[in-house]
Amino acid sequence: MAHLLMVESWVGSMSRLLPRAIREGGHEFTFLTRDLHHYLRSAPDGTAHPLLGARNLITADTNDPDTLLPEIERLHAVLRFDGVLTSCDYYLPTVARIAERLGLPGSPPAAVRDACRKDATRRVLAGAAVAGPRFAVHEEWADIARAAREIGYPLVVKPVDLCAGMYVRRVDDEGQLAACVRALAGFPVNARGQRRQPAVLLEELLDGPEVSVETVSHAGAVHVVGVTDKSIGGAPAFIETGHMFPAALPAADAEAAAQTALAALKALGLTEGVVAHTEVKLTSAGPRVVEVNPRPAGNRITELVRHVTGIDLAAALVEVSLGRAPDLRGRDTGLRSAAIGFLVPETSGTLESLGGHGLPDAPGLLEVQLAEPGGRVTAAGSNNEYLGHVMAGDAEGLGARDHVEALLDELRSTLVIR
């Protein structure tokens, strides 16, 4: 039995999947957080949060790595950790530093830091000739406006250090650009209380469909598990409205996406102790890297992969965090594709009604989770405002997405927000 240190987590599905994977692997974990109530608030009614299944619950200032590292060393002397991990983007660099400090398995801290900062990723990949959009990074308005004119409208505005599509916007002119920059400046601290970097990333708007490449890195080698396709909506925001695994792509396109992701991971130095989710645009000029995430995919993509291949990416993260080779052997699950679709609110108000009572009997349904009527709804500006999701599989081929879309259409017909 191994003992893992988990430093924070997302409060969504990965906060449930990781404890399960640790337990099923025969291991245990200590959970370290600066605010335990952050997780208790997200526990399903009438149940204990899975993170409370930890061997130890410890509170410390996880936002101050310089103070935290000596504390972790003292804990390690008593509790003896065999690995350290997190699912939360905002703590990945801290976990990498802890692993290095304690001599535990993990990716180099510089590699993780660069992957978690979108501007640093751009610079590293450009230096390694890994294809991406034209870009610029600035803090002052005059420099931002000038760079936007040089790149050319339309373009994409991004924060360098946020997740879930927050404040990522398409802009078509300088007026829209100014509004986006002001909005971003009005969000100086992220959801975990960490002060943000003021830099603004401008990128060329890429054409073509977007996919993600799911990989596992261990012992200097990167294994491609598969390619997921993505549906994007909510313009001018970029909201993920659904995914399907495997992507419905010609083999050559899937291979090109995979090779692009491999090149990006190797350029960043992410070839050890990481499960990664690399987003790629298949443009008319060839694949281009959108971003590299040195953690398992969110939005239940890991579950799509598991339903189709039998490969558990949460379990893979546990194993590589312990320095062990993960089991990446696929098996016949009876499904050829699995898809998820999200119910995205287009208006704000109060959720008055939402059907779905008959969905559990729908053929091929794998999951359904829907918001309860009576709650406050915010028009979606990122991946944080979903009203629920539907997941379904197809035993015959790549029909899972169509099945999910049909189920979502049924739900939309019952949706009332006032």
Kindly report, residue by residue over 107-118, the tens digit of the pLDDT.
999 999 999 999
Q: What is the average per-residue pLDDT within 26-48?
A: 85
Query: Quick check: 180 and 167 in contact, CB under 8 A?
Result: yes
Q: What is the average per-residue pLDDT within 343-366?
A: 89
CATH architecture of 133-204: 2-Layer Sandwich (3.30)
CATH architecture of 207-333: 2-Layer Sandwich (3.30)
| pLDDT of 42 strictly over 80 | no
Phi/psi at 226 (nearest 5 deg)? 165, 180
Q: What is the average per-residue pLDDT within 204-215?
A: 97
Could you give the 3-state DSSP secondary structure of residue 66? helix
Instruction: Give the pLDDT score at 41.
Output: 78
Q: What is the average per-residue pLDDT within 3-19?
A: 92
Report the helix count and the strand count for the chain, using DSSP H and E: 12, 19
Q: What does the pLDDT look like over 116-137, one tens digit per residue?
A: 999 999 999 999 999 999 999 9
Q: What is the average per-residue pLDDT within 388-402?
A: 97
The answer to whether 133-204 and 207-333 have equal CATH topology is no
Q: What does the pLDDT look like over 227-271, one tens digit per residue?
A: 999 999 999 999 999 999 999 999 999 999 999 999 999 999 999
pLDDT bucket at 15, cuts 50 / 70 / 90: confident
Instruction: Give the pLDDT score at 361.
Output: 80
Secondary structure (DSSP) of 182-232: HHHHT--B-TTSPBPP--EEEEEPPPS-EEEEEEEEETTEEEEEEEEEEEE
Could you give the 3-state DSSP secondary structure of residue 319? helix
Q: What is the average per-residue pLDDT within 201-209?
A: 97
Residue 218: CA count within 13 A, CB half-sphere:
19
Q: What is the average per-residue pLDDT within 80-99?
A: 97
369: part of which helix (H) or strand (E)? strand 365-370
Q: With 0-12 CB in 10 A as exposed, 13-18 as middle and 19+ as buried, what is 252? A: exposed
3-104 CATH, one of 1.20.58.220, 3.30.70.270, 3.40.50.20, 3.30.420.40: 3.40.50.20
pLDDT bucket at 312, cuts 50 / 70 / 90: very high
Q: What is the average per-residue pLDDT within 87-93?
A: 96
What is the pTM for the complete model shown? 0.95
| pLDDT of 47 strictly over 90 | no
More confident residue, 206 or 47: 206
pLDDT bucket at 12, cuts 50 / 70 / 90: confident
Mean pLDDT of the chain: 95
Distance CA 398, CA 390 (A): 16
Q: What does the pLDDT look like over 267-305, one tens digit per residue?
A: 999 999 999 999 999 999 999 999 999 999 999 999 999
Instruction: Give the pLDDT score at 399.
Output: 97
- Pairing of β 376-377 and β 349-353: antiparallel
Distance CA 62, CA 65 (A): 6
Q: What is the average per-residue pLDDT within 178-205?
A: 96
Domain spans of the chain, in order of start: 3-104, 133-204, 207-333, 336-418
Q: What is the average per-residue pLDDT within 36-46?
A: 76
Instruction: Give the pLDDT score at 44.
Output: 64
pLDDT bucket at 45, cuts 50 / 70 / 90: low
| pLDDT of 155 strictly over 90 | yes
Q: Look at the domain 336-418 and name its fold.
A: D-amino Acid Aminotransferase; Chain A, domain 1 (3.30.470)
